[in-house]
Amino acid sequence: MKRICLFLLVLTLLVACMPAGALAETDASSTRLVPEGETATLTVFCPMDANLQDYISDWNETPYNQELERLTGVHVEFISPTTSAAAETLNMLLVSGDIPDIIINAQLYADGTYQGVLDGYFIDLAPYLPDYAPEYWEVITSDESIWREATDSDGTISAFYRIFHTPNPAWMRLVLKQEVLDQVGVTEVPATIDDWDALFEKMLAAGITPYMLAADGYEEKFIGAFGLREDFYQEDGQVKYGQVQDGFREYLTLMHDWYAKGYISKDFISQSNVDTMFALGEIGTYDKPIVAAYNFGEAEGYTVLSTPYPRQTEDQFLHWDGYQASLVSKDLNYGMVVVSSTCEQPELAVQWLNFLYTEPGIELANWGIEGLNYEIVDGVHQYLPVMWDYNGISQEGLNYYFKMHNAASHAYSDTVCHANLLKSPEATAIRMLYDDDPLLDSALYLPNISLNADETETKTRVMSDIDTYVDEMVLKFIVGTEPLDNWDTFVSTVEGMGLQEALDAMQSAYDRYMANTIAE
Amino acid sequence: MAEPARTLRAPHRQARPLLRRMQRYKYIYLMLIPVVLYYVIFHYAGMYYAVIAFQDYKPMRGIAGSRFVGLDNFVEFLGGVYAWRVIRNTLLINLYQIAFAFTASIVFALMIHQMADNRYKNVIQTVTYMPHFISIVVVCGLLAEFCESDGLINDVLAMLGLERTSLLANPRYFRTVFVASDIWQNVGWGTIIYLATLTGVDPSLHEAAAIDGAGRLQRIWHVNLPALMPVIVVQLIMRVGRMMLVGFDKVILLYSPATYETADVISSYVYRRGLSEMDYSYGAAVGLFNSVVNLVILVSANAFSRRVTGNSLW
C-alpha cells in the first residue's frame, strides 16, 4: 500500500513538474528496435540500487527505464534482488536453468564472464557485434588497449562493458574533517606516512579514534606506498602476488604498529555506522568516495578534506594507481552485461544493449531525460534541481532514477556528467584535487585478463584455500594474534599451498592478453 | 483379567495386515500423506542429486553431461589444509553446546518447576521463551553491537577492571560468544519438554519423600531427575545426532577472517565453497561426508545408550 501511494505520488509530482511542452519528446521512430505498433519483451537481471530500494519495487518505475522502453520499443521484465542478495539470486537462477535473457552486473559470476561462456551460460557476442551492435563494435575496435580489455584473448567477446570517453579521476580518498584538524592543531593534510603517524598521535591524544581501516585489513593506498598492489599485479610483464612480497610485510608492520598504538580502531573488523562516526568526529579518517563525503559534510555543516596518496617520502613515485589504467570499466555496478545462452532473441538483446552506445542512448544513460532532469543551455547540458532533490530519494539514488549512472554505455567521465560533482564548483574541485599528481602512474596494474578453462580450474582450486588463509593471516598480523616474526612461515605456507601454479596460469593468460590484436 | 486380554490382543493385531488396517483407518492414513510426500520429495528424491559429489558438476551440462571424477572431491577436502580445522570447530562448538546449553535447559526447568508463585513463574517463562522467536539476523546484529570494544559487554568488563577488546575480532572468544548467546536465546524454549514431563510426576512421590525427611534439593535429585531421565536420554541422543551440524547462518553472521580459526565450521565452509564460489560438487562432497559421519555418530550413540541406560530411540 505504501509503495502504491508513493508511486502515485511520484506520478503526480512528475506530471506536476512537467509544464506542457517543456519535455522535449524525442521522436522514437528512428530509435525503435521493433516496428511501430509491435512490442518485444526481454527479461533482465538487474540488482536494485541500495539507495532506491525503499522508493521503487520495479526498475520500470523509473523515468529512465520508461524512456528507454519508449525509445527502443522493447519492454523489459526486471528481476531485481537487493544488492546483498544479488550473487546468491544469480547463482540460483543459473542452477535452476531459468536464466534471464540479459544479466546486468555479470561480474557476480564468480569465475568470470569468459568462463561463463565456456560453461555454456552466456553467449559469445563476437558473431553478433558487427551486425547488431555496430556502435559498440566501433568503440571497441577503435583502440588496441580498449580491444584487449573488452575481448577475451581467443577472439571470444563475453560481455558489454562500460567504456569511458576519457579516464575517470580517482573517487576514493582517505578523507579528513577540517574541524578535527583545527581541533588538534594541524594545518596541512598529511602527505607522507610519517605525517599520518604524527596526525594520528595528535588525534588519539584528543580522544579521537584516528583511523577506521577497512574491515578486511587492506588499504590499497598504504599498500601502494610500499611499491605493490594487493592480490595479483604485474611488474615489468611478470605477474606477482602482492601478499607475499616484502613490501607487504612492511605494510603489515605499519598497520600492526598503528593498531597496537590505538591509531586503528579496535573495532575495525566488525565496523558499523562509520559514516556517522566520522560525521560526529569520533573517528579521524577512513576511505570514502570523496565527493559524496564532501557534499554530505556540506549539508551537515562541516568541511571535508581530500588527501593525496600516502608516500614514504614526498618525492616517491607511485605506480599502483588503477583508476587511470583503462577506459574499460569492469568492476562498477551495472557496468558489465552479458546475454544468456537461453535467450531466444539474441539479436534483439544485442541491439538493445548497443542502444546505450548510440547517440540517443548515450544521452539517456549519461544525462537522463531532457526537460525532466536536465536542459541544454547554449549547447551545454545542465541538470535541473530535481537531480539533487526529488521526493526524498538520496542524491546517489537519483543517479539511477533519471539516468543510469554506471550503465554499460559509452560513458562520459564523472567530471562531465555526475550530478554530485556538478552540484557545485567546490564539489568538482575536490574530486580533481591531486588528480594531476605528477609522481603517479598505473605501471603495476594488471589488466583484466581472461583465463581459459584449465587456468580457471587451477586458479580456483589453488586460490580459494590461499585466499582464506591469507585474509585470515592479514587480520591476525595486524591485530597481533600472530606475531610478524612468523612472516617467513606465512610465505612458505602460501607457497606450499601451490601459489606458483596459480601464478603460472595468470602469467600465460597475461601473455596471451598482451599478444591480442584487433580482429579484422 | 489382564492375562487373557494380552493373549487375545496379540494375535488380533497380527491378523490385521497393512492393507486392511489402511482400509479401516483410511482417514488417518490420508492425513499421513502430506508428511510422507514431504519426506519423499525433500529428503529422498534429493538424495539422487548427491551424485554430483562424485562429478565435476556444471549445471548447464546437467548430471548426465558432467564429468565423473570419482572420489576426487573427497580427497581434495580431506587432504586439504582446512579439513581438520572445520571438523574440529564443528565438534567443539557442539560439545560446548551440549555441555552448557543442553544442561542449562534442564537445570532451568528444574528451577522453574520449584517456583511456588504461578504469576511470577508465567512471567519468567514468557520472558525466557521470547528470544527464541527473534530472527537470527537481528540477534546477530545485536550481538555485534554488544561485542564492540565500547559495547555493553565491554562496559561491564571495564567496570570489573578488565581490558576493553573487540570480542568478535578475537578467535579466543568466538565460541564463548556463540554458545552463551545460544543459551540466552534458547534456554527457555528448551525447558518446555522437561516441564511437561515434570508436571506428570506423581505428587505422592514428593509427599512420600518429604515425609521421609528429604529436603528440596534431595527431592529434585531423587524424584524429579529420575523422572526426567528417559526424556533427557532421548533428547541427548537426538542432540548427539546433530554433532556434526552447526547452523551456518549464525556462524556467517558472526565470523570474519580474523576468527576463522575457531569459527569456521563445516557448514560455513561448504557455503563459501559451494555457493559463493559456485564449486557445487566440492560443497556437495563435503556435505555428504558430513552426513555419513553424522549417521555413524547417531547409530553409535543410540547403541551405547541402549546398552548403558536401557533407553534408546529404536
pLDDT in tens, A95-154: 888 899 999 999 898 888 998 998 889 999 999 999 999 999 999 999 888 999 899 878
d(CA A373, CA A355): 20
Instruction: Show residues of chain A in contact with B80, CB under 8 Å.
Output: 465
Q: Least CA distance to A341: which residue of chain B?
A: B60
d(CA B255, CA A472): 11
One-letter amino acid at B162 equals: L
Residue A170 DSSP class: P
> In this complex, do A95 and B59 lie within 8 Å of one another by their Cβ atoms?
yes
Is residue B262 helix, strand or coil? helix
Q: Supply the pLDDT for residue A152.
A: 87
Smallest Cα distance from A110 to chain B, Å: 6
Is the distance from CB of A241 to CB of A232 less than 8 angstroms? Answer: yes
pTM for the whole structure? 0.80
Instruction: Show residues of chain A in contact with B61, CB under 8 Å.
Output: 120
Chain B residues with a Cβ under 8 Å from any Cβ in chain A: 58-61, 76, 80-82, 144-145, 147-150, 164-166, 168-171, 256-258, 260-261, 272-273, 275-280
A261: its cell numbers: 598504538
Is the distance from CB of A271 to CB of A215 less than 8 angstroms? Answer: yes
Cβ neighbors of B309 (< 8 A, separation 6 or more) are: B229, B233
R_g over Cα of chain A: 24
d(CA A204, CA A282): 10
B209: its cell numbers: 519423600
Which of A270, A476, A478, A486 is the best residue to mutate to test the B interface, defined by the most B CB atoms within 10 Å of its own CB? A270
Instruction: Show residues of chain A in contact with B261, CB under 8 Å.
Output: 472
How many percent of chain B have pLDDT more than 90?
Answer: 33
> In this complex, do A464 and B81 lie within 8 Å of one another by their Cβ atoms?
no
List pLDDT tens digits, range B75-129.
988 888 889 999 999 999 999 999 999 999 999 999 998 888 889 989 999 999 9
> In this complex, do A479 and B258 lie within 8 Å of one another by their Cβ atoms?
yes
Residue B273 has its nearest CB partner, among A88, A464, A471, at A464
Is the distance from CB of A481 to CB of B260 less than 8 angstroms? Answer: no
Residue B165 has its nearest CB partner, among A95, A266, A474, at A266
pLDDT mean over A237-265: 96
Instruction: Show residues of chain A in contact with B153, CB under 8 Å.
Output: none
Domain regions of chain B by residue span: 19-70, 83-308
d(CA B274, CA A78): 27
Closest CA to A365 of A397, A320, A393, A406: A406
Pairing of strands A74-79, A40-45: parallel
Cβ neighbors of A415 (< 8 A, separation 6 or more) are: A168, A169, A421, A428, A431, A432
- Number of H-type helices and E-type strands within chain B: 18, 2
Q: What is the dihedral of CA B129, B38, B58, B65, to 10 degrees?
A: 170
d(CA A218, CA B118): 57
Cβ atoms within 10 Å of A471's Cβ, excluding its own: 18
pLDDT band, very low/low/confident/very high, at B140 (cuts 50, 70, 90) = very high
Instruction: Show residues of chain A in contact with B171, CB under 8 Å.
Output: 481
- The answer, yes or no, to whether residue A444 has pLDDT greater than 90, is yes
Q: Least CA distance to A467: which residue of chain B?
A: B257
Q: Supply the pLDDT for residue A19.
A: 42
Smallest Cα distance from A477 to chain B, Å: 10
> In this complex, do B169 and A469 lie within 8 Å of one another by their Cβ atoms?
no
Q: Which of A213-222, A247-256, B43-52 has the lowest mean pLDDT?
A: B43-52
pLDDT band, very low/low/confident/very high, at A14 (cuts 50, 70, 90) = very low
Q: Supply the pLDDT for residue B314.
A: 77
CA distances from B63 to A374, A456, B280 (A): 53, 21, 12
Is residue A343 helix, strand or coil? coil
Q: Least CA distance to A478: which residue of chain B?
A: B258
List pLDDT tens digits, range A425-435.
898 899 999 98
Phi/psi for A232 (5° steps) reads -80, 135
Instruction: Show residues of chain A in contact with B149, CB under 8 Å.
Output: 266-267
> In this complex, do A272 and B58 lie within 8 Å of one another by their Cβ atoms?
no
Is the distance from CB of A427 to CB of A395 less than 8 angstroms? Answer: no
CA B122 to chain centre: 26
One-letter amino acid at A222 equals: F
One-letter amino acid at B287 equals: G
Burial of A148 from C-beta contacts in 10 A (0-12 / 13-18 / 19+)? buried
Q: Least CA distance to B264: which residue of chain A?
A: A468
List pLDDT tens digits, range A101-113.
999 999 898 888 9
Smallest Cα distance from A217 to chain B, Å: 10
Residue B164 DSSP class: P
Burial of A185 from C-beta contacts in 10 A (0-12 / 13-18 / 19+)? exposed
Cβ atoms within 10 Å of A433's Cβ, excluding its own: 17
Residue pairs spanning A and B at CB distance below 8 A: 81
Instruction: Show residues of chain A in contact with B258, CB under 8 Å.
Output: 269, 472, 475-476, 479, 481
List pLDDT tens digits, range B18-49.
888 888 888 999 999 999 999 999 889 888 88
Q: Supply the pLDDT for residue A22.
A: 46
Cβ atoms within 10 Å of A315's Cβ, excluding its own: 7
Angle at A471 between CA A468 and CA A476, to 5 degrees: 120
Q: Supply the pLDDT for residue B2.
A: 40
> In this complex, do A464 and B279 lie within 8 Å of one another by their Cβ atoms?
yes
Smallest Cα distance from B59 to chain A, Å: 5
Q: Least CA distance to B150: which residue of chain A?
A: A267
pLDDT band, very low/low/confident/very high, at A509 (cuts 50, 70, 90) = very high
pLDDT mean over B63-80: 86
List pLDDT tens digits, range B213-267.
888 888 888 889 999 988 998 888 888 888 888 888 899 899 988 889 899 999 9
CATH T-level topology, domain B83-308: MetI-like fold (1.10.3720)
pLDDT mean over A247-268: 96
Phi/psi for A488 (5° steps) reads -65, -40
- The answer, yes or no, to whether residue A457 has pLDDT greater than 90, is no
pLDDT mean over A223-239: 95
> In this complex, do B256 and A88 lie within 8 Å of one another by their Cβ atoms?
no
> In this complex, do B277 and A464 lie within 8 Å of one another by their Cβ atoms?
yes
Instruction: Show residues of chain B in contact with A341, CB under 8 Å.
Output: 60
Burial of B309 from C-beta contacts in 10 A (0-12 / 13-18 / 19+)? middle
Q: Least CA distance to B167: which residue of chain A?
A: A267
Cβ atoms within 10 Å of A13's Cβ, excluding its own: 13
Is residue B111 helix, strand or coil? helix
Smallest Cα distance from B261 to chain A, Å: 8
> In this complex, do A475 and B170 lie within 8 Å of one another by their Cβ atoms?
no
d(CA A447, CA A153): 12
Helix B171-199 and helix B83-96: axis angle, to 10°?
A: 40
Q: Supply the pLDDT for residue A91.
A: 86
Smallest Cα distance from B39 to chain A, Å: 22
Chain A residues with a Cβ under 8 Å from any Cβ in chain B: 87-88, 91, 94-95, 97, 109-111, 119-121, 215-216, 266-270, 272, 341, 460-461, 464-465, 468-469, 471-472, 474-476, 479, 481, 497
CATH T-level topology, domain A39-164+329-412: D-Maltodextrin-Binding Protein; domain 2 (3.40.190)
- The answer, yes or no, to whether residue A222 has pLDDT greater than 80, is yes
Q: Which residue has the cell 607475499?
A: A244
Q: Supply the pLDDT for residue B10.
A: 44
**Averaged pLDDT of chain A:** 90
- Which run of H or E residues covers position A172? strand A172-177
Closest CA to A237 of A507, A518, A515: A507
**Averaged pLDDT of chain B:** 86
List pLDDT tens digits, range A350-397.
999 999 999 999 999 999 999 999 999 998 999 999 998 898 998 889
How many percent of chain B have pLDDT more than 70?
Answer: 95
Instruction: Show residues of chain A in contact with B276, CB under 8 Å.
Output: 87, 110
Instruction: Show residues of chain B in contact with A460, CB under 8 Å.
Output: 277, 279
Instruction: Show residues of chain B in contact with A497, CB under 8 Å.
Output: 81
CA distances from A456 to A154, A447, A464 (A): 15, 16, 12
ipTM: 0.73
Kindly tell me the sign of the dihedral angle through the C-alpha atoms of A264, A267, A271, A275: negative
